[in-house]
Chains A and B, each alone.
Chain A
Amino acid sequence: MNELMIMLFAPLLAGFIAWIIDVRGIREAIGIIGAAIPLGILIQYYSTITGSNPHVEYSLSVGGFKLLFQLNTINWYFAVIASLVGVAMAFGMASTSRNSYEWLFALMSYTGVLGVFLSGDFVGFFLFWELMTFASFMMVLRRNKHESLKYFVLSVIGAYAMLIAIGIIYAKTGALDFASIRQALYMDAMVGSMSKSLTALVFLLFITAFGVKAGAFPLHVWAPGAYSEVDQSYTTFFSGALSKAGAYGFLLLYILMGAKLYAALGTWHGHMMFSYIIAWIGAITVVVASFLAVLQEDIRKLFAYSSVGQVGYILLGLGVGTGLGITGALFHVLSHAVFKGLFWLVVAALILRTGKTEFKDFGGLAEKMPVTFAMALIAVMSLSGIPPFAGFASKWLIYEAAISAHMPLVAGAIFLGSGLAFAYVVRFLYAVWFGQRPSDLEDVKEAPLPLLIGMFILAIPNLVFGIAPGLVTKYLNKLFGQTVVGGTYYKLVTPTGTYNALLVTVLLIFGIAVAGLIYIYGAKARRIPITNTYQSGNPVTEDYNLSIRRNFYRPLAEALEFWLKYSWDRFYERLAGMFEDFADFLREGFYNGNVQSYSWYLAIILLILALWGVL
């Protein structure tokens, strides 16, 4: 048995065993081991991947198809991110999972995601894509039927759009493995035997397929519901790794069809038309999802929209289409996986310990859960892009890429998006951690140990890749076979700019030290309770709730009133309703139980046949 296969099926197998054994304690241990095996094997492969011939392959014959699995520079990168998040998820689930059902499907989707990343042909890709969709659907189904069906229907539309696209490509090239398709389409870019409209159709179908998984606007409507209505430890994987399958799909589109799409769709004001479309999808996703995140009243919904918005950054970076843009996007894949995974684990801890999800019920938890709060702070800093955290390094690359590729309006959208990101993380910090503590949260305890271990696993990369972003960019340079982002481990150098993360860190420590000296010089501070505060000079008692927990950003909602009237969610609901009505209409209209009308149908068919000349 090849190591690739062990790696691929270890989580699935562990999930089954955990499901069958179903003894608390043992199933958790099996789950964690199963989740950790792929990470271990991938790390072992590191020397091969960074060596002179970064290629590992294994093929498997199943049902007349030859499934090809491979590990090369780009696959390894995605797979290692997924398995890192997977391990963190397993630790988190050891604390929060309620039954073995969750272990089965969580680990099944883990195998699905790894399979998507490792597949070298469309057969395996599609099979594992479906496995991943099914498993994540089952996770959501457990909690909420409506949301799970919404997710499932959209995913199925995406998957079958992909199947049609694969069919068209197979009909035109006769190949299913990526290497041959890439070559055939590359040749076809010059010959042009595949027509423009057909290429555009394939492009559209693929965008739909991958857009659904990535949560790109306007196909993002499943995300808020699906991300909220599962075990939040699983959402770590769901939003941290599973949504990256969509991003990987877009990248695959570049690898397989880049030349063909460029030849068929041409350019628009110096940008490749197809990538320009992706960039705009990304930009709109960033802005729309971030605005919606700011206005949420539920902690899970806020982070769900934030996830959608951050994946928008990845699409935007890919859409810029230059080496720098793709490097930035891939870096953001990593940093989004680690900071958003961390966020969801924090949310899992909050929900586990308090049982509440809405901002209005939280408050003042920083004192009760100090370690979790510190982790949340790291995630906040990384997400809002404070140097020197990983989130800043990747966003910085995307900024540089978008501006130097002369996509100013797209770059403007990410400026707006980063302002909005500040706004929604502060909302989270304020409502959950600070202010008065509601009396029913007095006996909240710190998060359990496995959950904290999961958080540490994700917090460390946030710091390490923030201070040494060169570790990532040097690896990504291999992808292009040339130096796209230069510099050392601590310093990024692009053709137009520089960012020295280590120096920023050192100076930040220096600055805080200087400020700290002033602080120490001043008189000693006396600690007073939070209720001893200014209330226009009036006395304050415990009975008054002084923290603003509801509709914090009301003025923004008012300023956006016009835009908030339109909702894609409602549009899809209405569309679904129309389909349902139409199905009812067909059923009642044709199967009306009237014998005479059935004989009329027969007569009409006979008439048609007679007119056709058959009879």
Chain B
Amino acid sequence: MFDWKLALEAIGILIYATFMGFIFMGIERKAIARIQRRVGPPIYQPIIDTLKLLGKKESVSHGFIYDFGPVFALGASIVALLFIPIANFQLFSSNADLIVVAYLLEVPMLGIMLGVMSSGNPYSAVGVQRGLLTMVAMQLPYGLAIIALVQHWGTFKLSNIVALQQVHGWSITVPALFLAFIVFDIVFQAMLGLEPFDIMTAPAEISMGVMLEYGGKHAAILFTQHAVQLFAETAFFAVLFLGGASNLLVLLVKQLVVLFIAIFVASIYPRFTIDQAAKFFWKWPTILGIIAVILTMGW
């Protein structure tokens, strides 16, 4: 009864995703360094960082929830990843659809915040507040982009969306969905926590905000979580708008394209303040999203 092949595939993808997620983080740092005419760290730097954090002799804790928060966040990221069809590996994607995955991609945020809040640090609290307000702000255009997509393809199942795109062409070749793609790409910047929407961490303003109190193995778990999340989100993007992929290499190219757009945008824009971000999200992306949704309805 137990499906060994599926279990092995899932574990394989998990290891691959974690590794590639770290590499993506490395690429991010390298690319930003090159944009600023620096050499930058080697591309595998985040892996070294994480291993160093895991090797710390001591870590501190503020209580059970403080420990549980990052663990829960990483767990939820892993679940989200396993429900996305990764290239030719369908994994568990027939068991959960777009709405479930979209929700699961937000759950880690709650896990992190849960842990962070229990530290009782004021900077962390400001980070939590900013993070949640960003989420509230981006939720409306994000929802509209997803709705446009679902209305056009007529299904919530991610594997069906991929299959339909392989027959009828990628989502972005449809004019209405191209608008949705622009909206999603703006929101994506906030999902990845990159400028101009890196309001939650904002290193220069609130000294890393949410991550502030975490060190040692807790930080290592959060780094790993970020890596898995980065991989899952870029794959999610590729599945929704870029026609998925038939093998891991094609998927990797698409993920890198998505990532590079995000990096280029991030490296030239300064950070928004939180109220500017809210006002921005509720203006242009929302208007574009509404237009996209109305176009997909066909009237």
Q: Chain A: residues with CB nearer than 8 A to chain B?
A: 269, 294, 364, 366-367, 384-387, 392, 396, 399-400, 403-404, 406, 408-409, 411-412, 414-416, 418-420, 422-423, 426, 429-430, 433-436, 491, 494, 496-500, 503-504, 507-516, 518-519, 521-531, 533-536, 546-548, 552-553, 555-556, 558-559
Tell me how far the C-beta of A408 lies from the nearest C-beta in chain B, rounded to whole angstroms: 4
| Contact status B96-A556, CB under 8 Å | no
| Contact status A527-B63, CB under 8 Å | yes
Contacts of B278 in A (CB 8 A): 555-556, 559
Question: Which residues of B (73-126) have their CB < 8 Å from a CB of A?
Answer: 73-79, 82-83, 92, 94-100, 103-104, 106-107, 109-110, 113-114, 117-123, 125-126
Contacts of A521 in B (CB 8 A): 54, 217
Known: A412-B147, A548-B122. A526 touches B110 (CB 8 A): no
Contacts of B297 in A (CB 8 A): 406, 408
Known: A434-B117, A507-B82, A530-B62. A555 touches B274 (CB 8 A): yes
User: In the docked arrangement, what's the CA distance between A552 and B128, Å?
Assistant: 10
User: In the docked arrangement, what's the CA distance between A494 and B100, Å?
Assistant: 13
| Contact status A400-B99, CB under 8 Å | yes
Which of B67, B70, B74, B290 is the most central at the interface, judged by chain A CB atoms within 10 Å of its CB?
B74
Contacts of B142 in A (CB 8 A): 415
Asked if B151 is at the interface of the complex by the 8 Å CB criterion, the answer is yes
Known: A409-B293, A434-B120, A534-B123. A386 touches B110 (CB 8 A): yes
User: In the docked arrangement, what's the CA distance between A536 and B208, Å?
Assistant: 12
| Contact status A518-B151, CB under 8 Å | no
Q: Apart from A508-B79, A515-B225, A523-B216, what are 17 other A-B pairs with CB-CB below 8 Å?
A: A396-B99, A403-B150, A403-B151, A406-B151, A415-B142, A416-B140, A420-B136, A436-B120, A496-B97, A499-B96, A508-B75, A508-B76, A515-B75, A527-B60, A534-B213, A546-B120, A552-B129
| Contact status B104-A387, CB under 8 Å | yes
User: In the docked arrangement, what's the CA distance between A508 and B103, Å?
Assistant: 13
User: In the docked arrangement, what's the CA distance between A516 and B73, Å?
Assistant: 11
Asked if B47 is at the interface of the complex by the 8 Å CB criterion, the answer is no
| Contact status A400-B120, CB under 8 Å | no
Q: Which of the residues B76, B120, B154 comes within 8 Å of A496, measured between beta carbons?
A: B154
Q: Which of the residues A436, A496, A518 comes within 8 Å of B155, measured between beta carbons?
A: A496
| Contact status A556-B120, CB under 8 Å | no
Asked if B171 is at the interface of the complex by the 8 Å CB criterion, the answer is no
Tell me how far the C-beta of B267 lies from the nearest C-beta in chain A, rounded to whole angstroms: 26
Asked if B148 is at the interface of the complex by the 8 Å CB criterion, the answer is yes
| Contact status B104-A498, CB under 8 Å | no
Contacts of A396 in B (CB 8 A): 99-100, 103
Contacts of B107 in A (CB 8 A): 386-387
Known: A547-B120, A555-B275. A430 touches B125 (CB 8 A): yes
By beta carbon, the residue of chain B nearest A363 is B120
Known: A528-B60, A553-B129. A519 touches B71 (CB 8 A): yes
Q: Which of the residues A386, A515, A528, A536 comes within 8 Å of B78, measured between beta carbons?
A: A515
| Contact status B62-A528, CB under 8 Å | yes
By beta carbon, the residue of chain B nearest A396 is B99
| Contact status B136-A515, CB under 8 Å | no
Asked if B20 is at the interface of the complex by the 8 Å CB criterion, the answer is no
| Contact status B132-A510, CB under 8 Å | no
Q: Which of the residues B113, B136, B296 comes within 8 Å of A416, measured between beta carbons?
A: B136
- How many residue pairs link A and B with beta carbons under 8 A? The number is 266
User: In the docked arrangement, what's the CA distance between A507 and B147, Å?
Assistant: 27
| Contact status B151-A558, CB under 8 Å | no
Tell me how far the C-beta of B186 lies from the nearest C-beta in chain A, rounded to whole angstroms: 15
User: In the docked arrangement, what's the CA distance between A528 and B120, Å?
Assistant: 12
| Contact status A419-B79, CB under 8 Å | no
Asked if B220 is at the interface of the complex by the 8 Å CB criterion, the answer is yes
| Contact status A534-B148, CB under 8 Å | no
Asked if B13 is at the interface of the complex by the 8 Å CB criterion, the answer is no
Contacts of A534 in B (CB 8 A): 121, 123, 207, 212-213
Known: A499-B97, A514-B74. A366 touches B217 (CB 8 A): no
Asked if B299 is at the interface of the complex by the 8 Å CB criterion, the answer is yes
User: In the docked arrangement, what's the CA distance between A586 and B123, Å?
Assistant: 60
Known: A498-B157, A504-B79, A555-B274. A491 touches B139 (CB 8 A): no
| Contact status B122-A523, CB under 8 Å | no
By beta carbon, the residue of chain A nearest B73 is A515
Q: Which of the residues A294, A364, A367, A533 comes within 8 Å of B213, measured between beta carbons?
A: A533
User: In the docked arrangement, what's the CA distance between A548 and B113, Å?
Assistant: 15
Tell me how far the C-beta of B37 lies from the nearest C-beta in chain A, rounded to whole angstroms: 32
Contacts of A384 in B (CB 8 A): 110
Which of A366, A384, A436, A514 is the most central at the interface, judged by chain B CB atoms within 10 Å of its CB?
A514
Known: A426-B128, A527-B61, A527-B63. A497 touches B156 (CB 8 A): yes
| Contact status A423-B143, CB under 8 Å | no
| Contact status B144-A522, CB under 8 Å | no
User: In the docked arrangement, what's the CA distance between A531 and B133, Å?
Assistant: 26
Q: Which of the residues B67, B128, B148, B217 comes within 8 Å of A523, measured between beta carbons?
A: B217
| Contact status A525-B275, CB under 8 Å | no
Asked if B164 is at the interface of the complex by the 8 Å CB criterion, the answer is no
| Contact status A504-B96, CB under 8 Å | yes
Asked if B205 is at the interface of the complex by the 8 Å CB criterion, the answer is no
Asked if B72 is at the interface of the complex by the 8 Å CB criterion, the answer is yes
| Contact status A553-B121, CB under 8 Å | no
User: In the docked arrangement, what's the CA distance between A513 and B155, Å?
Assistant: 33
Known: A426-B113, A507-B79, A552-B129. A497 touches B157 (CB 8 A): yes
Asked if B135 is at the interface of the complex by the 8 Å CB criterion, the answer is yes
User: In the docked arrangement, what's the CA distance between A494 and B156, Å?
Assistant: 10
Contacts of A516 in B (CB 8 A): 71
By beta carbon, the residue of chain B nearest A386 is B107
12 sampled A-B residue pairs with Cβ under 8 A: A364-B120, A387-B104, A403-B151, A412-B290, A415-B146, A420-B139, A507-B82, A507-B83, A509-B75, A515-B225, A519-B217, A547-B122
By beta carbon, the residue of chain B nearest A557 is B275
User: In the docked arrangement, what's the CA distance between A524 and B125, Å?
Assistant: 26
| Contact status B132-A503, CB under 8 Å | no
Question: Which residues of B (196-247) have their CB < 8 Å from a CB of A?
Answer: 207, 212-213, 216-218, 220-221, 224-225
| Contact status A518-B224, CB under 8 Å | yes
| Contact status B143-A556, CB under 8 Å | no
Known: A430-B128, A515-B75. A525 touches B135 (CB 8 A): no
Tell me how far the C-beta of A469 lies from the nearest C-beta in chain B, rounded to whole angstroms: 12
By beta carbon, the residue of chain A nearest B94 is A498
Tell me how far the C-beta of A126 lies from the nearest C-beta in chain B, rounded to whole angstroms: 40
Task: Sort A-B residue pairs by CB-CB distance and give the 8 closest, nearest first.
Answer: A522-B217, A415-B143, A497-B156, A511-B75, A419-B139, A511-B78, A497-B97, A512-B75
Asked if B168 is at the interface of the complex by the 8 Å CB criterion, the answer is no
Asked if B279 is at the interface of the complex by the 8 Å CB criterion, the answer is yes
Q: Which of the residues A399, A419, A491, A519 comes within 8 Å of B67, measured between beta carbons?
A: A519
| Contact status B220-A518, CB under 8 Å | yes
Asked if B38 is at the interface of the complex by the 8 Å CB criterion, the answer is no
Contacts of B173 in A (CB 8 A): none
User: In the docked arrangement, what's the CA distance between A518 and B110, Å?
Assistant: 20
By beta carbon, the residue of chain B nearest A416 is B140
| Contact status B144-A546, CB under 8 Å | no
Asked if B59 is at the interface of the complex by the 8 Å CB criterion, the answer is yes
Contacts of B132 in A (CB 8 A): 422-423, 426
User: In the docked arrangement, what's the CA distance between A577 and B80, Å?
Assistant: 54
Tell me how far the C-beta of A410 lies from the nearest C-beta in chain B, rounded to whole angstroms: 10
Tell me how far the C-beta of A312 lies from the nearest C-beta in chain B, rounded to whole angstroms: 16
